[in-house]
Chain A
Amino acid sequence: MNEKRHMGLQQLASFAETGRTFLGPVKSSKFIIDEERHESVLISSTVRLLESLDLTSAVGQLLSEAVQAQNNTYRTGTNTLLFLVGAWSSAAEECLHLGVPISLIVSVMSEGLDSCIEEVVSLQVPVYNVFDHMDNTKTFSGFETFSVSLGPFHQIPSDAGLIQKKHNLKDVASQSLTIYSLSGRPVKSPKLFRHQAKVEVDKDTSQTPQTLKNSLLADTCCRKSILIHSRHFNRTDNNQQISKPDGFLEQHGAATPKTYRCNDLVELEMGLSHGDHSSMKLVDNAIRLQYQNANMQQGNRTMPFMFDISRIFTYCLPGLPEAFSCVCPGYITVTSISSTTLIKELQNQPVRVVLIEGDLTENYRHLGFNKSANIKTVLENTKVQQDSSEELWINHVLQVLSKFNVNLVLAQGNVSDYLIEKCIHSKRLVIGSVNGNVMQAFAEASGAVQVAYVTQVNENCVGNGVHVTFWGSIPLDVVDMVDRMAIMLKTEGINLVTVVLTSPVTAHMQAKEDRFWTCAYRLYYALKEQKVFLGGGAVEFLCLSHLQILAEQSLNKRNQVCSGWLRNTSSWLASSLALYRPTVLKCLASGWHRYLSTLIYNTASYSSEFEASTFIQHHLQNAIDSGSPSSYILNECSKLNSGIFNSGISNKLEQIARVYDIVTPKIEAWRRALDLVLLVLQTDSEIITGLGHTQINSQVSEGFLFL
C-alpha cells in the first residue's frame, strides 16, 4: 500500500470529473460516441452518462452501483452524488498526502458529514397546506409567466433562436392547452389562456416584469416577519423559526428577519424547478389535474390530498416543437392507422373493458408455469382438422369477448398480431404493452379485475364506461408517425394523468423525459416530507462554513472528546485524533468548496472557476466572521439579489423566487458519496476470482500475486 497514492481514489476522481458539467441548473449536454458501432447519444445526466460509459473496473462498478441505488430510490441527487464522489476522493487523497492514517480519515470524515447533516436542519423550511391555495388562479398564471420568460434562457442558453421560435408558437401552445380543458375539467376558458399568452409576450419584449416581480415578492417572501430584539441567534426546538438579530441593518440593508415557511404550491414548484420551468410547469399541471380529480371523487370527505406519482405517465412524441408538450387526464397511446374506422365507431359510446395481466397470445402461460416439452398430441381421427390451434384459440377469445360484450382489451404484455387484426374486424380494440400502473388505474376506475387468461373472464371482471377517442390536438402529418395514430382512453374519474412530452430534436427526447421526472420527484419528495431546504447552494455553503469553524475550534482545543466510531476504540488513533482532525475537516470542507464553485461557475455568471472560488471564499469569511453562519445564510437568502444563493439561475434576469432543495434525497446522496469514497479508501487490494486461478492485484507492485 503506497501511502501517498491511492489508485482507487484516483479512478473515482477521474470518473467523477466527467460529470462536472451536470451540476447546477445550467447543464451542458454531452455526446457519447460509440466508435465501434458509430452510434452516439446525447446525455445530460449522471445516470445516462454512467449507462453509456464502460465501467468495467471494480471501482467504476461500485460507483455506478451507488448512482443506480440513489436513482432507483429517489430519482434525483445523482449529479450531486457523482460530483461529491470526485471532490471527496481528491480530499481523501490529499489527506493521505499529508500523512493522516486511513482509519482517521474515515472516522473524521464521517463524523464531519454527520455534524453537517445535523447543522443543516436549521435551513429546513416546512412545507404545509400548499393545497389550500390551489384554486388561486393568480398564482397559476404567475407561474405561467415565469415559465415563459425564464424557460428558454437556461434550457439551451446558447440557442437564442429558440426563444424567438417559442414566442411564435405561443398561439399554438394555447391551443393545446385549450384541448386539455375541453377534454376534461372546465377549469379555465380558452380565452383566458390566450389572453395571458399575449401578456407574456408583451412582458417579454418590454423586458420589464417589474410589477409582477414585486407582487410575487410580496406574496412569497414576506408572509410573516418576526422581529426579535436579541443579539443572539435564536432557535426554537423544532428549528423552524430562525431569526436574525437586527443589529446588522446597516450592513445588510433593509432585510427583515423572517420565518421561513412554504405554503404556496407555485412558490414551492418555482423553487424546486432549479431553472427547468417548462418541465415543472407540466408537473404543476399534472398535480392540479390529480387534485381536481381527487376532490371530485371524494366529494366532501376531507382526506388530505397526496400527490400520487405512480399515476403519472409520460408519453413521448419526438419531432414536435416543445410547445406541444401538455398534460391530459386519461391514457394516451398509439395504435395502428388501420383501426381508424373502429375508433370512429367506438368513440361515441362508453365501452366495456377487459384487463389482461400478461401476454395475450396462445402460447402464453402465467409466470411460474413450466411447460412440459415432451407432450405430443396425435390425431386419432382421420377427420381433417383445418383450424390450427391458434385459430381455435382466437375463436375462443372472440367468443368470450362477444359474450361479455367487450370492445376494449388492455394487455400488459404482448398481443398476437393476428388477434388484433381479427378483433378489428369484429369491432374490438386490443392494446398491448400497457404499463402496470395504467392497468391499475383502469381497474379502479372501471371496476374491471385483471386476469391472466381470457378464459377467466366473467361478469365481475369486466369494466365499464371507458371512452376511446382520437387524440387529435396535434397535426399528425407533422409527426413522424406514418401509419400510427394517437388515441386517448379515459374513464370518468380515472386517477391517471398522461404527460405528453414533445421535442423537436429527437436526441433530446430522453433528456426531456428524465428532466420531467426529476422535477416530478423533487416535488413529490418535498410534499411527502413536508419540508425543503433553502437551495441554491445554501445548505452546502452552511456545511462548508460549519466545517471550517469545526476545524478552527479543534485547532484551538486539542483535547476534545472524540466522537465518531473511534470513540470506544482504545486504539492509539483515538488519542491522536485531535492532532489530525483539523486537517481532515479542512479537506472535507474543500470538497464543498469545489462543489459550490463549480455550481456557481456552471451557472455562467463567472468566467472562471477561480473567480467563482474567490467569490465563495469572500462569503465564507463573512459567514464565519458573523459568528453564526446559518443566520448569515438566512439573511443572504432574504436579500434576493445578493447573488450568492439566488444566483442559481442568473443575475441578469434578476430572478426573484427562492430556490429550494429536497431534504432526504440530498442528504442520502451526500452519505452515499462519502460512503463510497471511504469504502474505496479502506480498500487495499483487489482479489480477482477466476475459474482457473486466483490473482491478487496488490496496489504496491502493480503485479499479480498468485495463490
Chain B
Amino acid sequence: MSRFEAKKPSLCKSEPLTSERVRATLSVLKGIVTSCYGPLGRLKQLHNGLGGSVCTTSQSSALLANLSVTHPILKILTTSMQNHVSCFSDCGLFTAILCCNLIENAQRIGLTPSTVIKLNKHLLRLCISYLKSEACGCRIPVDFSSTQILLCLVRSILTSKPASMLTRKEIDHISTLILRAFLLTIPENTEDHIILGESIIVPLKGQRVIDSTVLPGILIEMSEVQLMKGLPVKKSDSLKVALFCASLSGDLSDTGEGTVVVSYGVSLENAVLDQLLNLGRQLVSDHVDLVMCQKVIHPSLKQFLSMHRVIAIDRVGVALMEPLSKVTGSQPVGSLGSISPSSYGSVKDLCTAKFGFKHFFHLIPNEATVCSLLLCNRNDTAWDELKLTLKEPCVLLGGGCTETHLAAYIRHKTCNEPESILKDEGCNQTELHLITEAFCSALESLAASLEHDGGEILTDMKYGHFWSLQADSPSIVNWPDLLSRCGCGLYNSQEELSWSFLRSTCHPFAPQTFLPHEAAGSANYLTLDCFTAKLNGLQVAVETANLILDLSYVIEDKN
C-alpha cells in the first residue's frame, strides 16, 4: 500500500541579506578566508571529526571544496569561487574576500541595490580597462627572453602557500623546476600558434624536496617484479608502440543484467584468453616492441609477449593515457579485435629509473614537449599544496600593491571626472561618492588582509603602493627607515615618499601610471600575481557580489 504525504509549502524569505543569521554566517566565512590570505596567512585543519584524514591548508580550492554551507546565499558565493578556481587555480581567496567586502560595504551604505549594482559594474569596467591599458601602473609585461619575471611569479605563488612548509632554498629549487618544466612544454618548431605540451607531476612522498627533478618524457611507475625482469635489448633506433585503453585482463566485458547460461565444459574465461593470445600474436607479427595498457594485462598474455621480447607495461592509469598517446603518436585501442596499423606509434627509447624507493619506466619520446616533474615532499599536505600550483605567465604586481594602486586610481578618477559616470548611470554625486568609497575600501581592506600579526598598513601618495608597518611605531620621521620596501618589492622607502594610513580618509591623489621599462629588471625579488587569474577574480567577485545584493527572495522547497 502506498502512502501519500501532503506536500509541504515552500518557504519564502524576503530580503535575505537583512537576516541576522545570514550576516553572521557571511562574517564567519569572511573570517575564514581572510585569515588564510597571503604568505603569512593562518592555516586551517580540515577533517570530518570522525577520525578521517586531516588536511592542513590555507588554499581556497581545498577550503571551498570542503565547506558544506547551508544557506543559499553562501552557496552562490562558494560555487562561483569554486568555478573561478577550477579555471584559473589561483586568486581564489582574493576573489572570495573581495566579494565579502563588497557585500558588507554595500549593506553599510544603505543605498538601493540597483544603484549599487549599476555603479559597481561601472567601476569594474573602469578597473578592467585601466588594467588592460598601456598606462597601467601595476602591470609588467613578461619578457620571455629572460626567466627573471617568470621565476618571481612562480616563487610568489609558492611563497603564498605556507602549508607547504618549504624553506627558501627549497622554494628556489622548486620554482626553477616548475619553470624548466614549463619551458620544456614549449615546442621547438612553432608556426602560427603554439600548442603547449604537458607537464606531468609525479608525486614522490617522503623524499626530500631538494631531490625533486624534471625529466623530458614520461615516467611510469613499475613494480619490483617488472624491474627484475629487466628490459630486452633494443632492436632499432626507435620502439614501435601499441597503446590500449581497453582492459586486457581477460575478464568478460559487462554482461549486463540477467544471467548468462553456459553449458558445462565451456569456459568463457578460456575463450577470452584465446582472443587475447590472438591479439598477442598480431602484435608480435606487427613487430611491436612495447605494449602499454591503461588497465591490467592478463598474466598469460604478458608471458606470451615477454617470450617474444615485447615489453608489456600495464596499469598505466587513465591520467597518463592522453600524454602517452600524444608523445608516441599512437591511437589508444579500445577493443580486442584486430588492430589497424595506423594506431601504432613510436618512442625513441625506454629505460628504467629509480627515485626514492620507487622504480619507473622512463619513456623518452622522439620529440619532447611532454615532461615529468618529479615532486618530492615530506608530507601529503604539502604535496597537495604544491600540486595545485602550476601557472601561466602574465603578471601583476603582488603583495597588495595592485589593490591599493587600483583603489587610488579609481578614487581619483571618480573624483576628478565624475561627469561622464553621472550622466551614463543617472545617479547623483553623493551616491557615486558613497559607492566609490565602498568599492575602494573593499579593495583596500582586501590588501590589508595580508596582515595577520597586528601591523599597520600604509600607502604612499606617489605610486599608491602597499606598505606595512609595525603597530605603535614611533613618529613619522622614522618611517623611511622602518619601511624598507613596498609590498611587491618594486619601490624603496628611501625615495622621498609620503605615506598615510590606508584606512584614513585622505585626499584623492593620482597614482603614477606607466610603469618605467627598467622597473621589471631592477628588483630581483618581486612579488607578482598572475594577470589573467586576478583580472577574472576581480570580475567574478564584483559580479557575484552584485548577484547576491540583487536577491530579494529566497524560496526553498521543503519537500
Which residues of A are in contact with B by a Cβ distance under 8 Å? Answer: 1, 56, 58-59, 61-62, 65-66, 69, 72-73, 101-104, 106, 110, 114, 357, 365-372, 374-381, 385, 436, 440, 443-444, 450-453, 455-456, 460, 563-565, 567-576, 664, 668, 671-672, 675, 678-679, 682-696, 705-707
**18 sample A-B contacts, Cβ–Cβ < 8 Å, listed by A number:** A65-B379, A73-B356, A102-B42, A357-B225, A368-B296, A378-B264, A436-B224, A440-B224, A460-B307, A568-B159, A571-B40, A664-B208, A668-B378, A682-B42, A687-B44, A687-B45, A690-B68, A707-B67
Please report the C-alpha to C-alpha distance between residue A675 and residue B163 in the assembled complex, in whole angstroms.
9
Residues of B within 8 A of A102 (CB): 42, 452-453
Docked-complex contact B165 and A381, CB < 8 angstroms: no
Mask: chain B, 451-475; 1 = CB below 8 Å from A; 0 = not: 1111110000000000111100000
Within 8 A of A (CB), among B262-297: 262-264, 266, 268, 295-296
Within 8 A of A (CB), among B456-509: 456, 467-470, 482-489
Please report the C-alpha to C-alpha distance between residue A687 and residue B379 in the assembled complex, in whole angstroms.
20
Please report the C-alpha to C-alpha distance between residue A690 and residue B48 in the assembled complex, in whole angstroms.
6
Docked-complex contact B66 and A689, CB < 8 angstroms: yes
Docked-complex contact A114 and B228, CB < 8 angstroms: no
Docked-complex contact B49 and A688, CB < 8 angstroms: yes
Q: Which of B255, B257, B298, B381 contacts A679 (CB 8 A)?
A: B381
Q: Which of A73, A367, A380, A679 contacts B56 (CB 8 A)?
A: A679
Q: A374-B260, A375-B262, A675-B165 are in contact. Are A570 and B399 (CB under 8 A)?
A: yes
Nearest CB of A to B401, in Å: 9
Nearest CB of B to A448, in Å: 12
Q: Which of A73, A563, A692, A696 contacts B207 (CB 8 A)?
A: A73
Residues of A within 8 A of B268 (CB): 372, 375
Residues of A within 8 A of B28 (CB): 696, 705-707
Residues of A within 8 A of B298 (CB): 366, 369
Nearest CB of A to B172, in Å: 10
* Dominant secondary structure of chain A at its interface with chain B: mixed
Q: Which of A368, A377, A687 contacts B67 (CB 8 A)?
A: A687
Docked-complex contact B47 and A686, CB < 8 angstroms: yes
Nearest CB of B to A375, in Å: 5
Nearest CB of B to A60, in Å: 9
Residue in B43, B63, B71, B488 with the greatest tally of chain A CB atoms within 10 Å: B43
Q: Which of A61, A455, A565, A707 contacts B29 (CB 8 A)?
A: A707
Q: Which of B47, B71, B381, B484 contacts A688 (CB 8 A)?
A: B47
Docked-complex contact B299 and A453, CB < 8 angstroms: yes
Please report the C-alpha to C-alpha distance between residue A49 and residue B254 in the assembled complex, in whole angstroms.
47
B525 at the interface (CB under 8 A from A): yes
Q: Which of A56, A73, A569 contacts B206 (CB 8 A)?
A: A73
Residues of A within 8 A of B39 (CB): 565, 569
Please report the C-alpha to C-alpha distance between residue A692 and residue B47 in the assembled complex, in whole angstroms.
14
Q: A567-B168, A569-B39, A690-B48 are in contact. Are A453 and B300 (CB under 8 A)?
A: yes
Within 8 A of A (CB), among B212-266: 224-225, 228, 247, 249-252, 255, 257-264, 266
Docked-complex contact A683 and B67, CB < 8 angstroms: no
Residues of B within 8 A of A570 (CB): 399, 467-468, 483-489, 527
Please report the C-alpha to C-alpha distance between residue A76 and residue B487 in the assembled complex, in whole angstroms.
43
Nearest CB of B to A53, in Å: 13
Q: A371-B251, A378-B262, A452-B299 are in contact. Are A61 and B159 (CB under 8 A)?
A: no
Please report the C-alpha to C-alpha distance between residue A410 and residue B46 in the assembled complex, in whole angstroms.
46
Residue in A568, A574, A672 with the greatest tally of chain B CB atoms within 10 Å: A568
Please report the C-alpha to C-alpha distance between residue A478 and residue B145 in the assembled complex, in whole angstroms.
78
Residues of A within 8 A of B314 (CB): 368
Q: A440-B225, A689-B46, A689-B47 are in contact. Are A376 and B205 (CB under 8 A)?
A: no
B167 at the interface (CB under 8 A from A): yes
Please report the C-alpha to C-alpha distance between residue A573 and residue B260 in the assembled complex, in whole angstroms.
73
Interface residue tally of chain B, by bracket? 35 or more
Please report the C-alpha to C-alpha distance between residue A450 and residue B223 in the assembled complex, in whole angstroms.
13
Residues of A within 8 A of B165 (CB): 110, 675, 678-679
Nearest CB of A to B174, in Å: 13
Docked-complex contact B49 and A690, CB < 8 angstroms: yes
Q: What is the chain B residue whose CB lies nearest that of A383?
A: B264
Residue in B28, B40, B46, B263 with the greatest tally of chain A CB atoms within 10 Å: B40
Please report the C-alpha to C-alpha distance between residue A371 and residue B181 in the assembled complex, in whole angstroms.
42
Please report the C-alpha to C-alpha distance between residue A678 and residue B56 in the assembled complex, in whole angstroms.
11
* Inter-chain pairs besides A451-B299, A573-B468, A693-B68, 13 sampled, C-beta below 8 Å: A73-B207, A101-B454, A372-B251, A375-B259, A376-B261, A455-B300, A564-B168, A572-B456, A572-B470, A572-B483, A672-B378, A679-B381, A707-B70
Docked-complex contact A377 and B262, CB < 8 angstroms: yes
Q: A372-B260, A377-B262, A571-B451 are in contact. Are A61 and B25 (CB under 8 A)?
A: no
B380 at the interface (CB under 8 A from A): yes
Q: Which of A62, A103, A110 contacts B167 (CB 8 A)?
A: A110
Docked-complex contact A685 and B484, CB < 8 angstroms: no
Docked-complex contact B42 and A684, CB < 8 angstroms: yes
Within 8 A of A (CB), among B152-190: 159, 162-163, 165-169, 171
Q: What is the chain A residue whose CB lies nearest that of B25?
A: A707
B522 at the interface (CB under 8 A from A): no
Residues of B within 8 A of A370 (CB): 249, 251
Please report the C-alpha to C-alpha distance between residue A215 and residue B19 in the assembled complex, in whole angstroms.
87
Nearest CB of A to B98, in Å: 19
Residues of A within 8 A of B225 (CB): 357, 436, 440, 450
Docked-complex contact A366 and B249, CB < 8 angstroms: yes
Residues of B within 8 A of A460 (CB): 307
Docked-complex contact A683 and B69, CB < 8 angstroms: no
Residue in A59, A685, A692 with the greatest tally of chain B CB atoms within 10 Å: A685
Q: A102-B453, A440-B224 are in contact. Are A375 and B296 (CB under 8 A)?
A: no
B32 at the interface (CB under 8 A from A): yes
B74 at the interface (CB under 8 A from A): yes
Nearest CB of A to B487, in Å: 5
Q: A366-B296, A707-B69 are in contact. Are A377 and B167 (CB under 8 A)?
A: no
Within 8 A of A (CB), among B1-54: 25, 28-29, 32, 35, 39-40, 42-51, 53-54
